[in-house]
Structure 1
């Protein structure tokens, strides 16, 4: 349910609705608005990379993982609700961007604690299917939330409760809806999942003292747990490729395959359904065959279908290859979370998933750089797609020598 609820922030606020409102309606012009949005999210990414591992480490140490999940989820809800006051006037652009960026930081830190709870709500025999089901629920929840806001508020001239587009009210109400959606569906995990035990290694000397502990832990991992370090780096690379697929998928559909705006939205809905279903199925395969075989198979499938999109033409080719490709994205994401949960030392899950977030942020430039760089070098969006596939291939190659966790014993 937390995955389901959090999709309102990811899909509605950050990806499809509110950031589009900020750049198209609030900013003086779309170009300057897009640039400002990019800068604000980049700054947020820096804060996430710096804060995530120490925040996770401290929640492990104090045995307050659920408490900090509640606090940071609540802060995301507050930031989201605050967007209601952002009118369609350039003077509101800065506070709108600040709320989105701050909400993104709190969301990522909340997700560190949420991911770390995976081992609390599963057994060694079921961790894959639990992770896959949760990831799938995130996709499905995002689709339902998007459908509601689009047909209840965004598209109608007069929406639910008599809402109109005057002063951007139809989009501002969407922010209140998203805040309520996340708040309601975050409650079950806070009520029914027990608090994690303390790791027995309390951090003294304030928040920043945690960086000294983190440095010591990284040295220990380098000496005795290079598998975890290797996986963090390898997964960071291919996860950025996965992000790039969704980031540039709509652009490629319109620019290379001639999709209209409506067709792009319809395809996005179908793609998310396929990704959610793939995550659920991949979770069950994870428990049976292990995390690494699922990730490797998914990456190979992505490379094959992505290669098809590079060489084939026509809308039918994009529909077939694109939907099959989407079905491999969910398992790769879900089993990556499971892989780390299986190999991390007990009671250090928060720290590990903090590093998971940090390494992902550290290489988040790779996908966009490969896409734009290959277009500049070779011309055309097909070349850009090939650049993204190269990132996925690099991540796969880095993953192959890493010893997989045994699903039967969790290590």
Structure 2
């Protein structure tokens, strides 16, 4: 095994550097929230495609196909890029490239009008690919920011700051751009340029303060040879990182469920719950606040209880949240009939949104930190490339399964798929030995 060129890295990065790293989460949340989760997803399915005759099933399927395609591109390229970044000490360079590509393609969504389905699909594929690659690139810096016992709260701080960024982005959208409807199209089409501008400006501290600590190995070797050579070496060493491997399989199932919720939660609210604009706007805020609280709270909890146990707790929370999402219409009707009340499902859904928000923030933070704990510093970009692979392969599988399933049985019943995915993830994660995984990462860097 190789020695770790970063073994002399400081125990903690400076507060300014940690803040700069976390600001990338703050910045890119505008893309996740406004383009994938809420505004553009709803705009694409209901206005740009907008085929109501089949209950938007074709529109939903096309949306899932675009996201799955972009995630499949990440599956192919993330580990290769990670290997190159470690070898050439170019994490910031690759991060910059993904950042600029995301900004450019997101801004171009302004030109997607009703009926421009192909243009919308192409730009979503490109922008979401660039954004998703950036997720892996920024995560690769995490193991350098503090000791393993502190990665939970550092990761949680990043995710919580990200959801605060989403709250700012959502606030502007609610106050200035309005709702995603055909009547408001000329205003809401600016959501692409706004998300791009927010990302561009807010991520500047990342590139000013985040350090590139790696040491480049001898040049004169092509990127292709570096990538495949490093990956070949990693695959030969996977037995040494047994617990990381098992965890990435667990992550494949859990993130499949998470990506379904990210891609379809607000579409579900519009099509199944039938909420009005005011409730949709409140849900913007509810999800961001509770997700920030979940990421920060569980981040501190993780450093006390352990990363594996915390991750398992977040999956159990997800199971409860998904059952509540599925049951909202029927539960509301039953309560009203039983007690003579007149509750509306959309208001019950707001309460469920609190639970989903806590689950979302906590599970994403816990999984990223656990990969950081299991990763040797000198191979962090490559290992987080595999994290990106597992994440996005999960996105492909989850979103395609949901996209096909909802064409057969409808969106409401299909959401229960997530329950099965989270339960399988919990069972697989039970095989992970956190202490052994930490020791494997430590042993690698000391030899």
Q: What is the TM-score of this pair, normalised by structure 1?
A: 0.84
**1: distance between equivalents of 2:191 and 2:403?**
32
**2: distance between equivalents of 1:27 and 1:387?**
25
Aligned to 1:133, which of 149, 154, 157? 157
Q: Matches of residues 88-99 of structure 1 in structure 2 within 5 Å?
A: 88=113, 90=115, 92-99=116-123
**1: distance between equivalents of 2:418 and 2:352?**
15
The answer as to 2:91 corresponding to 1:65 is yes
Q: Matches of residues 1-400 of structure 1 in structure 2 within 5 Å?
A: 1-27=23-49, 35-84=61-110, 86=111, 88=113, 90=115, 92-154=116-178, 168-198=185-215, 200=217, 204-207=221-224, 210-221=227-238, 223-250=239-266, 259-260=275-276, 262-307=278-323, 313-314=331-332, 315=345, 318-368=349-399, 383-400=413-430
Once the two structures are TM-superposed, the CA of residue 211 in structure 1 deviates from its matched residue by 2.9
Q: What is the TM-score of this pair, normalised by structure 2?
A: 0.78
Q: CA RMSD in A?
A: 3.4
- Larger RCO, structures 1/2 (Cα 8 Å, 6+ apart): 2
Once the two structures are TM-superposed, the CA of residue 283 in structure 1 deviates from its matched residue by 0.8
Secondary structure of 1:122's match? coil
Once the two structures are TM-superposed, the CA of residue 275 in structure 1 deviates from its matched residue by 1.4
Cα distance change on mapping 1:82 and 1:369 into 2, 3 Å: closer
Cα distance change on mapping 1:207 and 1:403 into 2, 3 Å: same
Once the two structures are TM-superposed, the CA of residue 63 in structure 1 deviates from its matched residue by 0.7
What 5-or-longer segments of structure 2 have no aligned partner?
Answer: 1-22, 333-344, 443-447
**2: distance between equivalents of 1:397 and 1:267?**
32
**2: distance between equivalents of 1:364 and 1:330?**
17
Stretch moving more, 401-410 or 45-54: 401-410
Cα distance change on mapping 1:310 and 1:28 into 2, 3 Å: closer
On the 8 A contact 2:71/2:396 being kept in 1, the answer is: no
On the 8 A contact 2:255/2:394 being kept in 1, the answer is: no
Deviations 1:44-87 (A, max 9, x none): 22211111111111111111111211122112112222333x15
Cα distance change on mapping 1:115 and 1:27 into 2, 3 Å: same
Once the two structures are TM-superposed, the CA of residue 273 in structure 1 deviates from its matched residue by 1.5
